[in-house]
């Protein structure tokens, strides 16, 4: 089994605020990220797929198909967006768009349509990681 990891980038804004918490709790839990006017980040998404290389083509995955899939299902939804208002996962309430929740949303989007894009079960989605800053990264195994 070989694991292929490809990196993608998108820029978005967000505000961390949980209406269930008091103002004081929001400030204590989210600190500067609770600023009512929002702020933003350059996110770096790494998508790892796993599979056995095809003995004839020598490839474990079609990189162009993977790029199209990520573009369609992730980049288009989140790049140059306000996550609180424009991302359906966060616009309706629930937990705020922490990078943890954004990583979970990305994983769910990838798993939802994976079998349509890669119908023969190859490659398998193995894990994703999402960097909010160079010093802050979240990893999630799939599924």
> Of these, 68, 115, 141, 143, which contacts a second copy (CB under 8 A)?
141
Does the N-terminal peptide bond of residue 123 adopt cis geometry, omega within 30 degrees of 0?
Answer: yes
Q: How far is the CB of 61 from a second copy (least distance, A)?
A: 9
Q: How far is the CB of 70 from a second copy (least distance, A)?
A: 12
Q: Name the strand (E) or helix (H) holding 12.
A: strand 2-14
Chain position carrying tokens 């162009």: 64
Chain position carrying tokens 């089994």: 1
> Of these, 77, 81, 125, 142, which contacts a second copy (CB under 8 A)?
81
> Of these, 92, 93, 119, 134, which contacts a second copy (CB under 8 A)?
134
Site for a second copy in 110-129 (CB under 8 A): none
CA angle 92, 95, 99 (to 5 degrees): 110
Chain position carrying tokens 């079960």: 121
Concerning whether 17 is annotated as a catalytic residue, the answer is no
HSE (side-chain half, CA atoms, 13 Å) at 86: 13
Which are the catalytic amino acids? Answer: 33, 80, 132
Binding site for a second copy (CB under 8 A): 1-9, 11-14, 16, 18, 20-21, 29, 31-33, 35, 37-42, 48, 53-60, 62-64, 79-82, 85-86, 95-98, 100-101, 103-104, 133-141
């Amino acid at each position: 089994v070989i694991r292929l990891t490809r990196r993608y980038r998108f820029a978005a804004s967000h505000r961390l605020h949980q209406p269930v918490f008091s103002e004081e709790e929001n400030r204590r839990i989210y600190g500067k990220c609770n600023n009512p006017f929002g702020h933003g980040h350059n996110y770096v998404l790494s998508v790892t797929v796993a599979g056995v290389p095809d003995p004839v083509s020598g490839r474990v995955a079609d990189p162009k198909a993977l790029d199209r899939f990520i573009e369609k299902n992730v980049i288009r939804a989140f790049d140059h967006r306000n996550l609180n208002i424009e991302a359906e996962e966060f616009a309706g309430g629930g937990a705020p768009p922490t990078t943890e929740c954004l990583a979970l949303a990305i994983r769910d989007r990838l798993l939802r349509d994976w079998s349509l894009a890669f119908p023969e079960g190859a490659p398998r989605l193995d894990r994703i990681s999402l960097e909010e800053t160079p010093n802050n990264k979240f990893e999630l195994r799939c599924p």
